[in-house]
Homo-oligomer: A and B are copies of this chain.
Amino acid sequence: MTHLADENCAALSGPEHKLTEAAINVLRVQVPEWSQDAQGRLHRRYGFDNFVDALAFTNTLGEIAEAQGHHPDLELGWGYVVVNLSTHDVGGLSRNDFIVAARIDHLAA
């Protein structure tokens, strides 16, 4: 199995790129700390000791998002960053969401 963190996001558009429940379950093995929120988005919270560290993480994460052309919705404050991923153009989760999730995990590790 190739590692998701070594892959790059592709231009995906259209419902045919929306992952099935079965495909999601296979990919989640590689990003076990992530869950799906009520809206089906791929979701993880990272904790930090202060605001500055949370903001620094956000900036490095932002470089990944910009390089991959795939941008999460973030929540950020004193001691935390929450990352929410989905792919608007497919109407759900795509492989791109898992690639970015795996790359962010590498960053946090």
Q: Which residues of A contact B (CB under 8 A)?
A: 51-52, 55, 58-59, 62, 65-66, 71-78
**A51-B65, A55-B62 known; A77-B77 Cβ under 8 A:** no
Partner of A51, one of B55, B62, B77, B78: B62
**A58-B58, A59-B59 known; A51-B66 Cβ under 8 A:** yes
In the complex, A72 Cα to B65 Cα: how many Å?
23
A41 to chain B minimum Cβ distance, whole angstroms, is 11
Q: 15 additional contacts, CB 8 Å, given A55-B59, A55-B62?
A: A51-B65, A52-B66, A58-B58, A58-B76, A71-B77, A71-B78, A72-B77, A73-B75, A73-B77, A74-B74, A74-B75, A74-B76, A75-B75, A75-B76, A76-B76
